[in-house]
């Protein structure tokens, strides 16, 4: 299948591109490189033996999208392109709504004009807000607490409204839990710009000595050891989840929603211990105040994806840490080097 991958040079998009190519599909990448580097294309080429077609451009450019959809004879779209930093979204909400929601509207309109009616959307566990209980199932009530989270929730609602009006659309909402890890080759991984917002990239930079210590946000949560608990999922498991979801849902009509998580929760201290085992030395950390907006603990119930898609996360926390560490040690400056 020929698939347009928006945001295809980013962290999850690039790993999903590998999974699509492995399965014999033909991804066509479109990215404005606002949070990624062109070098990733050479890394894909080194692993796959060929470079995927790439358009440098913006999803808000409807004429470009239409040209790509028609000329490349695209059959389905996997839509990763978005701004994704929760904290930043509270400072520049208009940019988040404009890029994420505005960009998705332009994409949907272009798809409609070109008769492409399968969309796999990168949603997030953030659309569950503060869940009443764990594990989280897809039918749980939705709410969001940041402009970023609201942009994801509103896009889900837009997809649902469009599908209700035009039943031939196949919409897939994939709610990711906490994606971490890197390709096992050590040649592709997460390359955050500036100070990392998320736990795993921060840990890897402490482990390699780029940052002096990890600040653990809160040691007094009602969890196993007082630190926050999350469902970390290996990025290659996540990538394979996209493949299964696309193959299962393409052309079926309807809205299909899946949690992509492992179903297991790890505390911050458990992740720190697992990473220390992977890198072979202890990591300096200090327990500090809670981060505003954080939730004590949540993890997925991934049973629906397992039942309907035949997909299950296979890689454990040891693999997530080992692969992150391999990527970091071989690419201390990310894709810059």
Task: Work out whether the CA dihedral 239, 240, 246, 249 comes out positive or negative.
Answer: negative
What phi and psi, each to the nearest 5 degrees, are found at residue 63? -65, -40
When the beta carbons of 84 and 264 are compared against ligand NAD, the nearer one is 84
When the beta carbons of 298 and 311 are compared against ligand WQD, the nearer one is 298
The CB-of-215 to ligand WQD minimum distance in angstroms stands at: 5
Residues near 227 by beta carbon (within 8 Å), at least 6 away in sequence? 216, 218, 219, 221, 267, 268, 269, 287
CB 231 within 8 A of CB 177: yes
Partner in contact with 272, chosen from ligand NAD, ligand WQD, none, beta carbon below 5 to 8 Å by kind: none
CB 177 within 8 A of CB 299: yes
Residues near 306 by beta carbon (within 8 Å), at least 6 away in sequence? 312
Does position 199 bind ligand WQD by CB under 6 A? yes
When the beta carbons of 68 and 279 are compared against ligand WQD, the nearer one is 279
**Cβ-closest position to ligand NAD:** 10
C-alpha pair distances (Å), 149 with each of 82, 97, 126, 216, 294: 12, 10, 6, 23, 13
DSSP-assigned letter for residue 26: E
Compose the 115-144 pattern: x for residues touching ligand WQD by CB under 6 A, - for all others.
---------x-x------------------
When the beta carbons of 5 and 162 are compared against ligand NAD, the nearer one is 5
Whether 148 is catalytic is yes
Angle between helices 147-165 and 103-114 (to 10 degrees): 20
Does position 216 bind ligand WQD by CB under 6 A? yes
- Site residues for ligand WQD, 278-337, by CB under 6 A, read 291, 294
Catalytic residue among 148, 221, 258, 266: 148
- Indicate which residues carry an active-site annotation: 148
- Residues near ligand WQD, by CB under 6 A: 84, 86, 124, 126, 178, 197-199, 202, 214-217, 228, 230, 268, 291, 294
């Amino acid at each position: 299948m020929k698939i347009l991958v928006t945001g295809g040079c980013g962290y999850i998009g690039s790993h999903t591109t590998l999974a699509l190519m492995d399965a014999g599909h033909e991804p066509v990448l479109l990215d404005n490189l606002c949070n990624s580097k062109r070098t990733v294309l050479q890394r894909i080429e080194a692993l796959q033996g060929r470079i995927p077609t790439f358009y440098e451009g913006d999803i808000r450019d409807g004429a470009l999208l239409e040209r790509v959809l028609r000329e490349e004879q695209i059959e389905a779209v996997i839509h990763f392109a978005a701004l994704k930093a929760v904290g930043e979204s509270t400072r520049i909400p208009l940019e988040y709504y404009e890029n994420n929601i505005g960009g998705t509207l332009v994409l949907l309109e272009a798809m409609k004009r070109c008769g492409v009616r399968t969309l796999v959307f990168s949603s997030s566990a953030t659309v569950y807000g503060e869940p009443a209980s764990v594990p989280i199932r897809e039918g749980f009530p939705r709410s969001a607490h940041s402009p970023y989270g609201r942009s994801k929730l509103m896009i889900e609602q837009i997809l649902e409204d469009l599908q209700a009006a035009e039943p031939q659309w196949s919409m897939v909402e994939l709610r990711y839990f906490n994606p971490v890890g890197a390709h096992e080759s050590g040649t592709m991984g997460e390359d955050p710009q500036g100070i990392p917002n998320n736990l795993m990239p921060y840990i890897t930079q402490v482990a390699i000595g780029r940052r002096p210590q990890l600040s653990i946000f809160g040691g007094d949560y009602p969890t196993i050891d007082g630190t926050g608990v999350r469902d970390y999922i290996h990025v290659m498991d996540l990538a394979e989840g996209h493949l299964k979801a696309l193959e299962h849902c393409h052309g079926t009509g309807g809205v299909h929603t899946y949690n992509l998580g492992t179903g297991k929760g790890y505390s911050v201290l458990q992740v720190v211990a697992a990473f220390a085992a992977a890198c072979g030395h202890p990591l300096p950390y200090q327990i500090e105040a809670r981060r505003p907006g954080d939730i004590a603990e949540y993890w997925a119930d991934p049973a629906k994806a397992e039942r309907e898609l035949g997909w299950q996360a296979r890689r454990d926390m040891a693999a997530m840490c080992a692969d992150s560490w391999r990527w970091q040690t071989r690419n201390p400056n990310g894709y810059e080097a």
